[in-house]
Structure 1
Amino acid sequence: MSDRLVTAPELLRALHQRARDLDLAPPAAFLGDWRGSRAVVVPSVDLRPVRADAAFLESDGLVVVYRSFPDTVRGAAPPLPAAVRGEAPGWLTLGDDGRWSRHGDAPDPRQVVGDHGPGRAHREDDNDDHDHNHDDDDESRLPDWAAPDRTAHRSAVTDCLEAIRAGEVYQTCLSTRVHGRLRTDPLETFLGIAGHSPAARSAYLEGPWGAVLGFSPEEYLVRHGETVRSSPIKGTLAADLDPARLLESAKDIAENIMIVDLVRNDLGRVADVGSVTVTDLLAVRPAPGVHHLVSTVAARTGASNQALVEATFPPASVTGTPKARARELIAGWEPESRGLHCGTYGFALGRDLELAVAIRTLEVTSDGHVELGVGGGITIDSEPDAEWDECVHKAAFTWGGGPAPW
């Protein structure tokens, strides 16, 4: 067998075809920086809706999971189930040398590509309707978006500023939702966006209920044994501006530090006494289309994964301070439920846990409707029009950057 290296997109396409050929559940993938690897790919996993409070029950195998933001508002129901979970018998990890390692009952990547890749399709002259020689910037693989409701978001920011002045909250995250249609299948959309906007915590999940195309830059919880960390992002600047401006912004610094305190409080509910520490404060890091301020809080805990998530969910960076009051107000200000936006996705292996905050995440229904939640943190120094511009900057990765397509 050839020693040619198999790329992640090539493997994912072949695994997707393998699932169709053999009537298996589709693959799942985590690209960027997961478990010390460039990619974690699950060849097949049956992801089924579950109760939210059962999503993080521990198992000896690899558990792939997502859980939506728990608060809902009146109006249309979120597009996807509140939580899904699936256990996988094997998985593959991609090393820095470009080679795959097999874990559990995982197939050989080269064999999969040989049996189910594009070469097989040409040899058998089947009716595969996917062009496997895609250009990473091919706009036909990007969603077609409708204009979001700028007026509603501006009104929510104005109401939030009034609540801050009244002392009800100090900081609150507000979101808006963009609706659209896919132009191709979910996997090709995922690979198209990943090609021009790679993110540290990208993920692809699929089931009969639809698909999740995640491009989050933000860690929610990363746990190894009894050590856990959370790295909230607060503070955003467009990528074409000088990132040093983030550290000159009183608004962004205040926003970040308030959320760091909230993360410390959340982890402290289940952490060993005295173990909660801030290991990194106000680091400037790049992400697709933007620069961010990122801090890291670490702790030690013997709590179960389920207890850890319950103590800290939803993630601090997407709620506000005080957390309980911020969540109550958000439900009254935002016109649509967040769905998976501001929830979490990832996987667990025993007590080890790798979860991202579900931002920059596309929620796709089985008929090709797609929704994207985008938002930002509001403080006393926020300006409604600037907050809207931040939402647009954060969504731009889905249309290849540049001006909004509406």
Structure 2
Amino acid sequence: MPRPLPLTAGIDLGSTSLKLLVVDGDGTQVACEQVATPWRSGAGGTTELDAPALRTALDRLVATTAAALPDGTTVAAIGIAGMGETGYLVDDAGEVAGPAFAWFDPRGAADAAAFSAELRAEFPGRTGLPLGAQVSLAKLAHERRRGVPLERYRWLSIPEFAAAHLGGDVAAEYSLASRTGLLDQNSGEPWQRALDELGVTAAFLPPLRWAGSPWGTASAVASGPFAGAALTVAGHDHLVAAEALGSLHPGRYHVSMGTAEVILRVTDAPLPPEARARLAAKLINEVRHIVPGRHVIVAGVKSGLLLRRALQLAGIGDRDGRDELDAAVSALPFEGVLPDGAIVASGARNDDGVLALDIRSDGVSPAELFGAVLRHSNDEIRILLDAIERELPPATTTTLTGGWSGMSSVRRARSRVLPDLTVSTREQDTAHGAALLARTLLRSSR
């Protein structure tokens, strides 16, 4: 009788919470725990993550999950996924220069505008990203302007930093490095012009590895089920979640609805620089996937953020209230019953996020308001899909996942703009995908 496959685990370092999920050899969840991401908020939307606070939260997450497992359990491997733009400047002794900035922190906008004309012109086609405050390069330029000696440090994204904290290697993963603005998508190497403007060398990015590669072991975990587990960095969270569902192939959209609504489309080869530049002009990324040799188009709208604020405007703060509103929105015609133009919503663009409502009629109910926000975000998604489909053949199917996909009104809205929509019912896709990717370590060790 064959021996059962060992347990593996996935860590998802998300904007809202840090999650650790353990699966058995069949991929069935055995345990899942989470702790809040310990951000510190400041004036003007600034949001930081102190390294000691993150280390403490990770240690607590590991200990809490270990306590939830039966005595004698051993976890063979751990995969770590998370956000890509947020990270730390780390020196050779493991000390950090300061807190990590959230990907949505506004700092770096002025620094992005102050880069040389040559870098700004070349940036979208070279990196596959639009140049703005969100990319790590802009925040690094902000730190340099504050007097931080960047040349004394290396850059580690949050998942790479977590791997090192658990005892693993100091290395960079391709899909995460693709979020920084420091990676040349043509060569897969650090982009020299960006390094020069920061005043650093190619060593500023640690050695690059593919997701699923060996990353050392959890040697810093002294005891318990996770002690000594093989480690890997699984990559950028949205890509890991899509691969967990098996839903990311060239003819399909994968749409994840959280605070941001992220639209993914995989390609079997990189697009040419001029196509990347056209997409970047629409705030669409084309970067490296977690699967070697593949690239992925990443588009987004801030629909989840706007929907949350619409709930707050309606005074709804619990699940029962949300369900009642969902039923009320679904009972209305999709266009509502008010005259055309009675409610005009805006703010879903990925460079916006401020819900603005122009109300020109009486009789505006919470259901009408929520429906108007859904229609507005549909319009913004259509703009993104049109841009993508000018570079690639139209997709024929869509997988929708994420917390908002549980609302029937949301599913109805998205079925009007996304092709052949199906909805995933699995929770914690990113952690699950990281746990599944960790299995590659076990296969490679046989």
Q: Normalised by the size of structure 1, how large is the TM-score?
A: 0.26
Task: Report which of the two structures shows the higher radius of gyration computed on alpha carbons.
Answer: 2
Q: Normalised by the size of structure 2, how large is the TM-score?
A: 0.24
Higher relative contact order (CA 8 A, sep 6+): 1
